[in-house]
Homo-oligomer: A and B are copies of this chain.
Amino acid sequence: MSSQDERARQQLIDLAAEFYDQFASGEVPEMTLPTRTKSNIEYDEDSGVWVYGDRTSTRSANSVQGARKLLKATYTIDFLARQLEEGRSSTLRELYYLSESWDADEAAFSSQDESNQLVEDLEIVSEVTREDFHMRPEESGATLMGPLELREQTRRGEREIHCQEDVGEGGYQIPNNPDTIDFLDHDIDFILCVETGGMRDRLVENGFDTEHNALIVHLKGQPARATRRITKRLHDELDLPVVVFTDGDPWSYRIYGSVAYGSIKSAHLSEYLATPEARFIGIQPEDIVEYDLPTDPLADSDVNALESELDDPRFMTDYWEEQIELQLDIGKKAEQQALASRGLDFVTDEYLPTRLAEMGVL
């Protein structure tokens, strides 16, 4: 076992030992967790990301339902500890199905939501990430293209890969656990995270990564944890600016938000996943007006989402209030590929260089 695996295993065993001690001293075993709702996330000035506040919820064995939850937790801890000992890994979905094979029928999960939530609970209480438990997501990481040379530690040995010279046009596929990667060398000036595959391909075809020494990270919609993690590591370890380029609609602002500030669901991991210095490059509502982009009208669900963002602590800045209010006012949204209405090169010759200069990145 690596020292990281050994530490993860120990944290899990400690948790089980705590239940044991509670039993031994005649207490009803329980597990206390931060309450995981929007009203209980708050801005942490030190780390610059949103974290859980002080409100907590308790899972106690003082009811049959609560006792069953702790039983499932101990079986899961046992499985994860053995998985770490054996140097194996599994998916969240496999854990759900595996629970059917456990000897206590009561320990089987009744839905995958339940097993997913338990793994998140264990992450929070043990302060070990799911990746360090060797739990893989279903969602796959996205791709990188740019002047970066890295070394990935795989089960089949080390691989040294240059993310322009050693990959096809599809780019380098980010592995499920990007902490298996070391950055060896680079010539990157900034990281450009891109929401859609169509725009990612446009930037690669137009050679934007070579012309501007940009590392293009394809977010593929709402980014997987692996994608957010590698973005954060690139920022922190290589000291590089990060900009996020998405569609101009409320769902895409949340994609930016999850890169920059973390999400409610994974606020316990903000310091591991979020890049608070990441900045939003567009499509901004003001771009829709300025460049007269082709648009769609806001649907009711878009309006609701924008209004709920005005109440979201992650978007409570002058910049976002102004942009969101402008968007509610014009009643329109635009996709990043709508820039093609001004020609296929407009995005790389005009739009991005202008925005990057405004933001002081270029």
- Chain A 204-261 residues near chain B, CB threshold 8 A: 205, 207, 210, 220
Taken together, the copies of this chain in the complex come to: 2
- A320 beta carbon closer than 8 Å to chain B: no
A61 part of interface (Cβ distance < 8 Å): no
A346 to chain B, nearest CB (A): 10
- Interface contact A143-B173, CB-CB below 8 Å: yes
Decide yes or no: A94 and B337 within 8 Å by CB, A170-B174, A173-B170, A197-B138 being known contacts: yes
Contact with B along A173-214 (1 / 0, CB 8 A): 111100011000000000000001110011001010010000
Instruction: Report the Cα distance A286→B170, complex, angstroms.
Output: 38
Q: Which of B94, B164, B173, B220 contacts A168 (CB 8 A)?
A: B173
Q: Which of B98, B170, B207 contacts A141 (CB 8 A)?
A: B170
A contact residues, total (Cβ < 8 Å): 56
Which residues of B sit under 8 angstroms from A161, Cβ to Cβ? 166-168
- The verdict on A130 contacting chain B, using a C-beta distance below 8 Å, is no
- Of the stretches A11-19, A149-157, A272-280, the one at the interface is A149-157
Interface digits, A297-332 against B, CB 8 Å rule (1 contact, 0 not)? 000000000000000000000000000000000000
Q: Which residue of B lies closest to A99 (CB)?
A: B341
Contact, CB under 8 Å: B90 / A340 = yes
Please measure, in the bound complex, the distance between the C-alpha atom of A180 and the C-alpha atom of B101, giving whole angstroms. Answer: 46
The 6 lowest CB-CB distance pairs between A and B, nearest first, are: A170-B173, A91-B198, A94-B340, A152-B168, A97-B340, A100-B341
Binding site for B on A (CB under 8 A): 88-91, 93-94, 97-98, 100-101, 136, 138-141, 143, 152, 154-156, 159, 161, 164-176, 180-181, 196-198, 201-202, 205, 207, 210, 220, 294, 335, 337-344
Q: 7 extra interchain contacts, Cβ-Cβ under 8 A, other than A88-B205, A168-B175?
A: A138-B196, A152-B169, A156-B164, A159-B167, A159-B168, A168-B172, A170-B176
